[in-house]
Copies of this chain bind each other. A is one copy, B any other.
Amino acid sequence: MGLMDETEIGAFLAVRRHTEAICSNLTPEDQCIQSMPDASPAKWHRAHTTWFFEQFILAPHMDGYKTFSPEFSYLFNSYYETVGARHPRFARGMITRPSTDHVTEYRAHVDAAMAEFIGSGRASSALLALGLQHEQQHQELMMTDVLHAFAQNPLAPAMIPAWCPPSPSTLADEFIVFEGGIVNIGHDSQRFAFDNEGPSHRSLLAPYRLANRLVRNRAWLAFIAAGGYTTPTLWMSEGWAAAQENGWNAPLYWRKTDDRWTVFTPGGERPIDLDEPVRHVSWYEADAFARWSDARLPTEFEWEAASEDPRITEREGHVWQWTASAYLPYPGFRPVAGAIGEYNGKFMINQMVLRGGSMATPPGHTRPTYRNFFHPDRRWQFTGLRLALDL
């Protein structure tokens, strides 16, 4: 066993342990429920990420690997049509059995086999990396899905009582000028990237300005006070309809009691901190806020071209940043063959790109080329915005 393999085993186990750490305060019940069709139970995330290794690495490639439980493929396949029938997404909260403990055993079984298989030197590094990146994505979803589930409980329990948000930048707001021109977009290096980050290609940008930091709660309160949620002309037509239908008058998880705003966080209900970047806003709200500010959202290309500039702060670790770009394939994009090819390509419609990374994203998971994507009305992720301007 060489150094590489040791590193790979270490990396594998570290990611797997991090998943368990996120759940350390969760009861079996907390891990079981599904609070909306978009969310999944924590137990399901724990099992599904395990199934991914079993399905795509161990079962096809490791001689003599014994599947933990044949029924799990039906239960824990997320959306891979190529792999066979699967439990309907909206019914994931009905799976009281296998129990939390049984899923823990499943994880141990697969961990042991993976450690052995990585140790044997025959594991594909590319597939292993994909499995780990995949699990990191689900670590973030576990945070946001459990937060949503806890928010449905009138007792407003804290999923991580000691939770603290990251410290925001203390710089003054400033718009940084960028020249634009022909820039390279997308991923071309040897390190891991998702298929949707490539092919690397050139893009032509007009000169633009980009805010050095994220929009704050202070500004959002001003937007609310100025009638941002009651002025239809600030909004996309469908955004206005969504706001009316859902009764939006503030970001998700904000609540006003006696003229005091609070926000529900992983640490429970907390007063609004004016200096924190706003989070849990939909693209529609971000877009309306930008219009009210006489600004706009940046395109994902503007964001990426500026992302290495040290004057651009809060690039990651706070909130995912909505962009003005629809989630579309890059020129020349072709999904890889087989089930793994269902990973990103089949979602390239009706969603908007977010860039950066949030406080719920595992450290080191993202890159400047990383493309996250959600529908424009979704708010349960840690989503915020950074403003841009034409020159």
Q: Does A75 count as interface, using CB distance less than 8 angstroms? A: yes
Q: Does A153 count as interface, using CB distance less than 8 angstroms? A: yes
Within 8 A of B (CB), among A152-167: 152-155, 157
Interface size on A, residues (CB 8 A): 64
Q: Which residues of B contact A227 (CB under 8 A)?
A: none
A328 with B331: CB separation less than 8 A: no
Question: Closest CB-CB distance, A361 to chain B, in whole Å?
Answer: 23
Q: State which of B29, B71, B346 has its C-beta within 8 Å of the C-beta of A97.
A: B29
Q: With the chains together, A60 CA to B264 CA distance in Å? A: 35
B237 with A346: CB separation less than 8 A: yes
Q: With the chains together, A346 CA to B233 CA distance in Å? A: 8
Closest to A27 in B: B99
Q: With the chains together, A33 CA to B32 CA distance in Å? A: 8
Within 8 A of B (CB), among A89-136: 91, 93-100
Q: Does A194 count as interface, using CB distance less than 8 angstroms? A: no
Q: With the chains together, A94 CA to B156 CA distance in Å? A: 11
Q: With A154-B87, A238-B349, A347-B236 given, is the CB distance from A390 to B332 under 8 Å?
A: yes
Q: Which residues of B contact A157 (CB under 8 A)?
A: 97
Q: Which residues of B contact A348 (CB under 8 A)?
A: 236
Question: Closest CB-CB distance, A45 to chain B, in whole Å?
Answer: 15
B346 with A235: CB separation less than 8 A: yes
Q: With the chains together, A206 CA to B333 CA distance in Å? A: 13
Q: List 12 interface pairs A-B (beta carbons < 8 Å), by A numbering.
A: A27-B97, A27-B99, A29-B32, A75-B155, A79-B237, A91-B152, A96-B150, A98-B155, A203-B204, A233-B342, A238-B350, A350-B350
